[in-house]
Structures are given as C-alpha cells and as structure tokens.
Structure 1
Amino acid sequence: MSTIPTLETDRLVLRAPEQADFETFAAFYASPRAQYVGGPLDRAAAWRMLAMEVGQWRLRGFGRWIVDIKDGATTAGLVGLFGPEGWPEPEIGWDLFEGHEGKGYATEAALAARAYAYDVLGWQTAISLVHPDNTGSARVCARLGAAYDSDFAHPKFGTIHIWRHPAPADLAAAGMEATA
C-alpha cells in the first residue's frame, strides 16, 4: 500500500504518521506510559519504532494511525492495526499519549480501525494483546466487545493476554456495525 488512508470519527482524525510526529512519539516512548508497549526507549529506538509504524503499511498493507483530536492541534496517540513478525495474528492496538487517557479516545479510534479491518481489508477476526497488569487496556477491550481468549508467550514481554474481538458476522447478528 503506497497511501495510508485517513479515517475520521466524531472527535478524531486518524492519519498517517509523519516525521513531524517524532518529538511527541519519542516523548511517549521515553515515558513510563510506554512500559507495556516496549518502552521506555531512547530517541534512536523511538525513531526505529516510528519508522516501523510507517513501514508496516508498505509491507503488510495495514498499520497504525496517529490520532489527532479534531478540536485542536493535539495528538492523542497511536491506534490501529499491528502485525509484526512473531505476533500470533494481526491485532488492533492503541497507545495513548500523556493526558489523553480516560476520555474514550482509544475506544473511538479502535472502533474505526476495526471497521477498516473488517469492512475494507476483509478481516474475519481481530485480537488485541494486553499485558496482564494493563487494566486500562483491558477495560478498552471490554468496551469494544472483546473477550479474553488465551495467553501468548512473548519472548521479550512474557505472558500477554489475547482478547478476541467479535467477528463481523457476530456484530451484524447483534444488530451492530463494526463501527458501533
């Protein structure tokens, strides 16, 4: 995929990561907030992570978006589809930057990402990987209708919980769209 699509929700714009996002991205990865997603990282490692986010679109045809709040020039995080080598299957993931948790942004953006995965890419299932101590992300999974499925033994991070999202057919049977 050569062009990363832009998605919009009521409050958010999900857009392609850009070099201009690096300082915000590096600050997140240097902070304790990144503890469940491979951090904290130094600037060089954060740069490689940003490059990986962009490169995944080219290599896999999907990836994660930078999430901007519509009512200002504020970047709230990174949300979308993630499937690096060694993952049990592609996932819907979210990283919220400092000060943006507890506002529903992860849920809103993840619903848009899931709709893209199901409606555009034709995925029939999706997971989210959540560290057992990351109760905030577990709550987001529950709000998305996902349920604990099993554990994944990650070689670097240890045991990670796999949360399974409702399949497109299950969402339709419940009278919900993938973007509900």
Structure 2
Amino acid sequence: MGASLSGVRIPPSPPPFALPGFEWQATLPSGLRCALTFHTITTARLTLRPQAIDEFPADQAFLASLRSAGMGGSIDVRAAWGMFCHDLACWRLFGHGALMIEVTASKQCVGQVGINHGPLFPEQELGWLLYDGQGYATEAALALRNWTFAAARSATASTSRYFEQP
C-alpha cells in the first residue's frame, strides 16, 4: 500500500535488487552511519556509473538550456538541484536510479540515463538526457533497461526519449 502526497499516490518501495554493486558508506558527525549501494554497467563503448558532485554544473547548464524543453523548459538551479538529488535518492528509496553516461575510452561524461520513480511518476520510467547528441542514448538506455529487467524481473516499464539530436 503506497502513501500519498498532495493526492499523488506514492507506490511502495520494490524489494532491493540483488545484483553486485559497490557500496558507499559514510559516518556523519553525529556518529550515524549510512550506506548506499550503486551499480556500474558497461557496454562496448560506455560506462554507466554513479553521479559525482562535480558533474552538477554540466547537468544544471543542460537543464537551464532550451534543450530541456521536454522537461518543462528552462529549469532554474533550485529545481535542477532537486532533480540531481532525486536521481541519487531513488537508489536508496527504490533500488534503482540514474547513472551518468561516460565514454569509456575518453572518460568524458556525456549525459545521464535513469529509471525515474516516485510520486511524480505513476510507474517506473526509463529516461535519458545527453549534453550533446552523440548517438549514445540508445546504447545506454538498452543497457540500463536490460539490467533493470534482469534485476527486478519487472513486468512493465515505460520509456521516454529525451534530448538526443539525430
């Protein structure tokens, strides 16, 4: 049974995925320990990996640009930060989230692919964004989709095509 937020149903958290990943751990000044498990997925050309704080400026610049029109237009820094944090929080809340798309050979981060979930998404949604369209969206989305179906044995997932120019 899910909760609701302003009339939007929040689905219950699915069980955690059981694929190998790496765990991030921290001890807060209060002594509280916290940990998150992330996954890294590789393809022939790409590494899909957790986001890093130094990637927020590129993400925010993209979201402030006209290329973000499919996500509601030019997005201010506060909303961009909320989206960046949402992508990270989904790993803890649902066992899946967003991964940065890195070209393995050059180590260049070219965008993001992720499974969206939560009160704003009625079902899990596979989406992506690329800072510059370079033909990586299909490869990254298929890799994450295949991982998701293998990990969760999910019966449904919707997909959205965002922002890759042909």
- What TM-score comes out, normalization by structure 2 length? 0.72
Match of 1:90 in 2: 124
Q: Which has the higher helix share?
A: 1
Q: Name the % identity.
A: 35
- RMSD of the alignment, in Å? 2.1
Counterparts of residues 76-155 of structure 1 (less than 5 Å): 76-97=110-131, 99=132, 101=133, 103-129=134-160
Q: Deviations over 1:115-153 (max 9, x none)?
A: 1111012112211145xxx7968x9xxxxxxxxxxxxxx
The AA in structure 1 aligned to 2:70 is: Y
Contact 2:111 2:128 in 1 (8 A): yes
Match of 2:59 in 1: 25
Tell me the matched-pair count.
132
Match of 2:81 in 1: 47
Match of 1:6 in 2: 40
Whole-angstrom distance in 2 between the partners of 1:96 and 1:120: 25
* Runs (5+) with no aligned partner, structure 1: 140-180
- What TM-score comes out, normalization by structure 1 length? 0.67
* Runs (5+) with no aligned partner, structure 2: 1-15, 17-35
Does residue 77 of structure 2 align to residue 71 of structure 1?
no
Could you say if the C-alpha distance between residues 109 and 44 of structure 1 is closer, same or farther in structure 2, counting changes exceeding 3 Å?
Answer: same
The AA in structure 2 aligned to 1:117 is: T
Query: SS in structure 2 opposite 1:111?
Result: helix
Could you say if the C-alpha distance between residues 86 and 52 of structure 1 is closer, same or farther in structure 2, counting changes exceeding 3 Å?
Answer: closer
Whole-angstrom distance in 1 between the partners of 2:81 and 2:163: 28
Whole-angstrom distance in 2 between the partners of 1:4 and 1:40: 30
Q: Which has the higher contact order (CA 8 A, sep 6+)?
A: 2
Contact 1:80 1:109 in 2 (8 A): no
Match of 1:57 in 2: 91
Match of 1:153 in 2: none
Could you say if the C-alpha distance between residues 39 and 19 of structure 1 is closer, same or farther in structure 2, counting changes exceeding 3 Å?
Answer: farther
Whole-angstrom distance in 2 between the partners of 1:37 and 1:14: 22
Which 4+ runs in 1 deviate beyond 4 A? 134-137
